[in-house]
Amino acid sequence: MIDILMSTARIFRIFGEEGRDNMSMRNIRWKYVLLWALMALSVLSLGSYCYRAYALQRPLEKRLAQNPDVIRAQISSVHDRATITIGLKYVDNLSLSYSLIEKEVQAALGTRDYEIVLEDNSGEILEGAYASIHYYIEEARVRGNFGEMADRSRAALEDTGIEDFKLTVDGENIYVQMRLNDEYLYRVRNLKYTKGGAEL
């Protein structure tokens, strides 16, 4: 009887050990599956970053830098929105220069969301001058009164000594450019509600 009990206990112990081994194997398998999944996700994320950085961003930066009006070009991305920062020399026609830059950007990025930020060389006087006409520009974006915007802006800047001031409107944006000595200011305001054309 004692021998039978001992044999039974031995059998249960063996099955118990096998059960624990099976549980351990299951745990080990899940750990490996989880590890491989994390590694695959990391590789995909890295691949996506490399694609954006080297297949899209770097070639576009090089192409933009080849533009004789561009001082520097830098591209950054946050939440799939690309920001293209352009250091631009003083140009005679901001709307033309901006359109050429935007054409390159659209060709490279396609339907991806982006924003073009222009770096100028403005100072306190030019910033103040733009502030004095900012209301007229924003009003024209909504109302489409471009002729009135041009007349009121020209009158506001009459006594500032600004050498070169131009307002241009195409089907997409209002372009503002002004210069005083070695300083120059650029502003591009998107037309969200209006369409039309006018130039001062």
Q: What CATH number is given to the structural domain containing 145?
A: 3.30.300.30
> Is 120 inside any structural domain?
yes
pLDDT for residue 146:
95
The residue among 133, 95, 135, 93 whose CA lies nearest residue 116 is 95
The reply to whether 70 falls in a domain is yes
Q: Is residue 13 part of a domain?
A: no
Residue 162 in domain: yes
pLDDT for residue 172: 92
3-class DSSP state for residue 59? helix
Q: Which of 145, 143, 24, 167 is nearest to 93 (CA)?
A: 167
CB 164 within 8 A of CB 176: no
Asked if residue 141 belongs to a domain, the reply is yes
- Residue 84 is predicted with a pLDDT of 95
Q: What is the pLDDT of residue 57?
A: 80
Total domains present in the chain: 1
Residue 74 lies in a domain: yes
Residue 19 and residue 21: Cα distance in Å, rounded?
Answer: 5
* pLDDT for 28: 58
pLDDT of residue 9: 47
Which 3 state secondary structure label does DSSP give 193?
coil
Question: Residue 70 in contact with residue 88, Cβ under 8 Å?
Answer: yes
Q: Which of 71, 98, 81 is nearest to 186 (CA)?
A: 98
- Distance (Å, whole) CA 96 – CA 175: 10
Each residue's pLDDT, cut to its tens digit, for the chain (200 residues) gives 444 444 544 544 544 555 555 555 555 576 766 777 676 665 555 445 444 545 568 899 999 999 999 999 999 988 788 999 999 999 999 999 999 999 999 999 888 899 999 999 999 999 999 999 999 999 999 999 999 999 999 999 988 888 799 999 998 999 999 999 999 999 999 997 544 444 44
pTM above threshold 0.75: no
Q: What is the pLDDT of residue 34?
A: 73
Q: Would 30 be classed as within a structural domain?
A: no
The per-residue pLDDT for 95 is 96
Query: Which pair of tokens denotes residue 49?
Result: 């970053």
Question: Are residues 173 and 95 in contact, defined by beta-carbon separation less than 8 angstroms?
Answer: yes
pLDDT of residue 4: 44
Report d(CA 68, CA 116) in Å as an integer.
18
Residue 100: which domain range? 58-199
Residue 146: count of CB within 10 angstroms of its CB? 23
pLDDT value, residue 53: 45
Is the residue at 65 inside a domain? yes
